Amino acid sequence: MMRCTTAVNRFTLMPNAPALIFPPEVDYECTRCGRCCSHPWEIPLDAASAERIRSVDWSRFKPDLAGQPLVVPRSGKPGEMTLQRRGDSCVFLTPDQRCLVHQERGLEFKPRACQQFPYVFTETPRGIYVGVSFATRGIRSGTGTPLARHEEHLRALSAGAYHRRVIREPVVFDPDWEITFEDALALEGGLLELLRGDATSLEDDLVAGGVYLDLFGEFLRGERGRQRRPGPAFQEGWERLGYRRIREIAAKFRPSPAARRMFLTSFVMGVEAAFSPGSPAWHVARSLAAQVGSALRIGRIRLGSLQAILPLGAHSSVDFDPGNTALTDPLRLYLRHVLFRKRLIPFCGVRTGYRLLCIDFALVRWFAQARAALQGRRSVEPEDVPESIETVERYFVLHTRFDQVFEHAWLQKLLTRAARQKQFLGTMVRSE
């Protein structure tokens, strides 16, 4: 479904407008699957979007919309509005999986949040990076439409984006150090080189990326401001030396399977609580029971994201072959694009953002194993991976935005403290 292409980044300059920077490996084309309009999350409406929707008698096009409010208050969000839903679907979704608003009034009439999906914009000192959410099936590298071909539309969309993150100078590397954006780009170049995966496993590459950033932290302490361009100098040094030594250090990091199962199961249950009924105390008790069950490989958990009840013993028995490129190539593309779109840096900083990227990978593998377990299989198949990437993007990135949780200093400290344990990345990333 997803393979790298040979396209290159494109910088487009216009008077008084920032450059748009397009991804080198990802194309997009809407497949009209209707899935983006069928999920448990509410669609936020700004005032102008709500007024546009109210201005039309939509029952002329879809009679069953007569006599019902189509713009309603958001649950638990006083003063905010959303589109009416039927079950998990927007009322404007037609039987043939089309958007009625788009069909009858055009793209510009849709709510801004709907217009922007699946594009994500990150404003940086170099320009606006135009990314894509993998919560859509329309990403078909090599068969879709390169984003640069939609430059005019994307420029207008980014100018009035419903949601856009901003990276300013200086950039946080970790709680103790700040670097320039150019330094951060140089580090990203090294991480992308490690994720190229010419003859190594994806798990090894991800752990090596963590070692790479740890070594850069030591490099900063050693330089103590003497190096004017520490990021490029560090990257260029390792490009000359090669990354063999980094991989040798990373190879020593071994997993702790029970710890990973408990951590990820707790993470999943926390996000599930965001769209499941029940009191906070009930969700905490449910999460604790799930952690114990995952460690002991007993019991079951209900997953609203998969609409299923998952046996934890069966889940932990599913094999994910890290040497199977049919499984890991789609993941490589996804992780490289997450780095490109820079969504983790504004809230977390470079180092914490990379740790969350590794957790992102672990979550995709967790859901791929869950899909296999629910179908009675003992190993993950290639079709499980794109579906699981979509699940993680939809529930953990696009809506709950778990990276924003780590904007809070004390949670960053907790993750930093855990990550200082040498086996943290090995535990999160390596298979059992």
pLDDT, the chain, mean: 86
DSSP bridge pairs for 166: 123
| Lowest-confidence segment of 151-155, 344-348, 413-417 by average pLDDT | 413-417
User: Contact, 362 vs 153, CB < 8 A?
Assistant: no
Q: Which residue has the higher pLDDT, 128 or 139?
A: 128
| Lowest-confidence segment of 39-43, 91-95, 118-122, 308-312 by average pLDDT | 39-43
pLDDT at 16 over 60: yes
Q: Which residue has the higher pLDDT, 275 or 338?
A: 338
Give dist(CA 338, CA 344) in Å, integer.
Answer: 8
What percent of the chain shows pLDDT beyond 90?
Answer: 50
What percent of the chain shows pLDDT beyond 70?
Answer: 89
Per residue in 254-301, pLDDT (tens digit) is 888 888 899 889 888 888 887 788 888 888 899 899 999 999 999 999
Per residue in 187-231, pLDDT (tens digit) is 999 999 999 877 789 999 999 999 999 999 999 988 765 667 899
Query: In sequence order, which residues have a C-beta less than 8 Å from that of residue 84 and are 6 or more positions away?
Result: 68, 69, 70, 71, 72, 90, 91
Give dist(CA 132, CA 338) in Å, integer.
Answer: 9
Give dist(CA 30, CA 27) in Å, integer.
Answer: 10
What's the pLDDT at 6? Answer: 29
| Lowest-confidence segment of 32-41, 115-124, 141-150, 194-203 by average pLDDT | 141-150
Closest alpha carbon to 43 in 74, 66, 69, 87:
74
Give dist(CA 210, CA 428) in Å, integer.
Answer: 11
What's the pLDDT at 387? Answer: 94
Q: What is the mean pLDDT of residues 172-198?
A: 91
Domains of the chain, by residue range, sit at 11-32+116-166, 42-106, 169-432
What's the pLDDT at 370? Answer: 97
- The answer to pTM > 0.75 is yes
Q: What is the mean pLDDT of residues 29-52?
A: 85
Dihedral over alpha carbons 201, 203, 206, 207 (to 10 degrees) = -110
Q: What is the mean pLDDT of residues 108-128?
A: 92
pLDDT at 338 over 90: yes
Give dist(CA 324, CA 321) in Å, integer.
Answer: 6
Q: What is the mean pLDDT of residues 382-410?
A: 76
What's the pLDDT at 284? Answer: 86
What's the pLDDT at 2? Answer: 34
Closest alpha carbon to 111 in 61, 161, 166, 57:
161
Q: What is the mean pLDDT of residues 356-383?
A: 95
Closest alpha carbon to 344 in 415, 391, 403, 411:
403
Neighbours of 98 (CB within 10 A): 15
What's the pLDDT at 329? Answer: 93
What's the pLDDT at 141? Answer: 60
Element (H, E) at 330: helix 325-341
Neighbours of 103 (CB within 10 A): 13
Give dist(CA 102, CA 415) in Å, integer.
Answer: 43
What's the pLDDT at 143? Answer: 67
Predicted confidence band of residue 9 (pLDDT cuts 50, 70, 90)? very low
- Distance from chain centroid for Cα 59: 37
